[in-house]
């Protein structure tokens, strides 16, 4: 029995489908060295009229930013925040394993606990829709997260979309971003300017994080091969290359949910 299998079993008694793995099976996560935005931008290239900020499904019922102050946090019971999840039959067993591994990663460092949905009214459902996208925060009832096959089933991408569902926006649009990054709107593709609009975020006393899995890269939505975003402290700093949650991503989740 492999260490990966033992780890999954020890951390996820609530995600029972991990037990579908066979003894000795080694999970293959699709090219985990790719950053989340690289795959999201590629897969969502034709969805610009549907999504906001690249991979966020707008909530037409209310203004959700910052929604965590007005009820879109997931409820906490005792020491843990239990988030019910479900998956459609769209995914192969190996793709399910990638998604589960990404969910389990939250158990290791936060008080978020993903549980298989039984009769809960509010829950996340992962399915292979068109593109990679999520809503920001808890929306009530069945809440989809789209992870298109052959484009979105990556460890970092799943983490990225789940962090949206927990209530977080992209790092480069946070309310204090102008102190840390330059945005070059003259280099942004026509129609993509809204991806760089600031949001009135609650930054929870955490520093701006260039290494966040929620940060855009330097050339995001560039129309001319020139940067659309750069760090003020070091214009040559490479942005948006995270392949997993940073320590600050984790700290923000823990502060928001008082872990």
- Is residue 161 annotated as a catalytic residue, yes or no? yes
Does 170 belong to an annotated binding site? Answer: yes
Listed residue (3, 30, 10) closest to 97, CA to CA: 30
In angstroms, the CA 128 to CA 87 distance is 9
Cross-strand bridge partners of residue 144: 125
Sign of torsion, CA 41 46 50 52? Answer: positive
In angstroms, the CA 154 to CA 78 distance is 31
Q: Which of the residues 32, 38, 95, 161 is marked catalytic?
A: 161
| 3-class SS shares of the chain: helix, strand, coil, % to 5 | 30, 15, 55
Is residue 228 within 8 Å of 221, Cβ to Cβ? yes
Residue 99 belongs to what H/E stretch?
helix 93-109
For 105-130, letters b (16+ CB in 10 Å) and e give: bbbeebbbbbbebeeeeebbebbbbe
Q: What letter does residue 208 receive in the DSSP assignment?
A: P
Give the residue ranges of the annotated binding site. Answer: 160, 164, 170
Which residues are tagged catalytic?
A: 161
Give the residue ranges of the annotated binding site for Zn(2+). Answer: 160, 164, 170
């Amino acid at each position: 029995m492999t260490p990966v299998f033992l780890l999954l079993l020890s951390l996820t008694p609530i995600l029972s489908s991990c037990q579908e793995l066979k003894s000795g099976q080694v999970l293959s996560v699709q090219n985990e060295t790719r950053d989340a935005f690289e795959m999201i931008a590629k897969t969502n290239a034709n969805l610009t009229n549907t999504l906001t900020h690249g991979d966020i499904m707008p909530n037409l019922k209310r203004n959700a930013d910052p929604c965590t102050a007005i009820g879109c946090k997931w409820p906490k019971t005792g020491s843990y925040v239990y988030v019910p999840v479900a998956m459609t039959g769209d995914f192969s067993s190996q793709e399910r394993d990638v998604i589960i591994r990404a969910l389990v990663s939250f158990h290791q460092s936060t008080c978020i606990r993903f549980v298989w949905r039984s009769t809960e009214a509010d829950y996340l459902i992962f399915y292979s829709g068109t593109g990679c996208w999520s809503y920001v925060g808890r929306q009530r009832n069945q809440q989809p997260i789209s992870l298109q096959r052959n484009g979105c089933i990556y460890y970092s991408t799943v983490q990225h979309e789940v962090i949206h569902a927990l209530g977080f926006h992209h790092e480069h649009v946070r309310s204090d971003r102008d102190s840390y990054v330059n945005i070059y709107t003259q280099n942004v593709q026509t129609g993509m300017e809204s991806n760089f609009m600031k949001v009135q975020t609650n930054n929870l006393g955490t520093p701006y994080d260039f290494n966040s899995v929620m940060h855009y890269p330097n050339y995001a939505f560039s129309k001319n091969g020139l940067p659309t975003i750069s760090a003020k402290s070091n214009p040559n700093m490479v942005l948006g290359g995270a392949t997993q949650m940073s320590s600050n991503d984790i700290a923000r989740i823990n502060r928001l949910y008082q872990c």
